[in-house]
């Protein structure tokens, strides 16, 4: 019984301090809002849906995993970014010098601003990719690849901004 009481006390203490949460975030209690601007697409090759998909997925991640209120402007946390690369490349070549695997790579540059704690601000690029067989055209697999890559990028951005892993 004493062990159970100690465990309950420790869990209460951790959850009441305001910085620790079970979702893995470490957001100070006085940080209550976030602004996520639409990602500008500056890649040489443009996927017309990518900017909106990336922006909305990131907003949804913050809605689900934090208590931050999403504002159109002037949040305590601000994420601004641009898509700087959207490229395909052959990565595996057969003995007949034909591509066996291709890779779709998306690069984004993020500017993160923490208005209340400026030491946490950063400018950083994030890169994610997915491979696909050369027997498939990019058009045939692009939607699935982009969805997977956006999920990876969203996770990386979330962890870099509020998870402090």
> pLDDT tens-digit profile of 6-32?
444 444 444 444 444 444 577 999 999
Q: Which residue has the higher pLDDT, 72 or 100?
A: 72
Model's pTM, two decimal places? 0.81
Closest CA to 161 of 40, 36, 72: 36
Domains of the chain in sequence order: 29-163 (3.30.160.150)
The DSSP call for residue 96 is T
CA distance 78 to 61: 15
Q: Where does the pLDDT of residue 3 fall: very low under 50, low under 70, confident under 90, or very high at 90 and above?
A: low
Name the burial class of residue 102, with classes exposed (0-12), middle (13-18) and buried (19+) by CB atoms within 10 angstroms of its CB.
buried
Residues 72-97: pLDDT tens digits?
A: 999 999 999 999 999 999 887 766 66
CA distance 126 to 156: 8
CA distance 86 to 41: 9
């Amino acid at each position: 019984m004493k062990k159970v009481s100690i465990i309950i006390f420790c869990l209460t203490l951790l959850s009441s301090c305001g910085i620790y949460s079970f979702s893995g975030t470490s957001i100070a209690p006085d940080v209550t809002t976030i602004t996520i601007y639409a990602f500008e697409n500056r890649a040489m090759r443009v996927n017309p849906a990518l900017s909106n998909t990336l922006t909305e997925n990131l907003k949804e991640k913050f809605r689900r995993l934090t208590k931050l209120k999403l504002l159109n402007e002037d949040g305590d946390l601000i994420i601004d970014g641009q898509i700087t690369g959207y490229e395909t490349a052959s990565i595996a070549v057969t003995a007949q010098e034909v591509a066996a695997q291709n890779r779709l790579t998306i690069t984004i540059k993020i500017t993160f601003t923490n208005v209340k704690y400026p030491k946490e601000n950063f400018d950083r690029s994030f890169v994610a990719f997915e491979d696909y067989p050369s027997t498939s055209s990019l058009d045939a697999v692009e939607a699935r690849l982009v969805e997977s890559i956006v999920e990876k990028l969203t996770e990386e951005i979330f962890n870099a901004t509020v998870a402090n892993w």
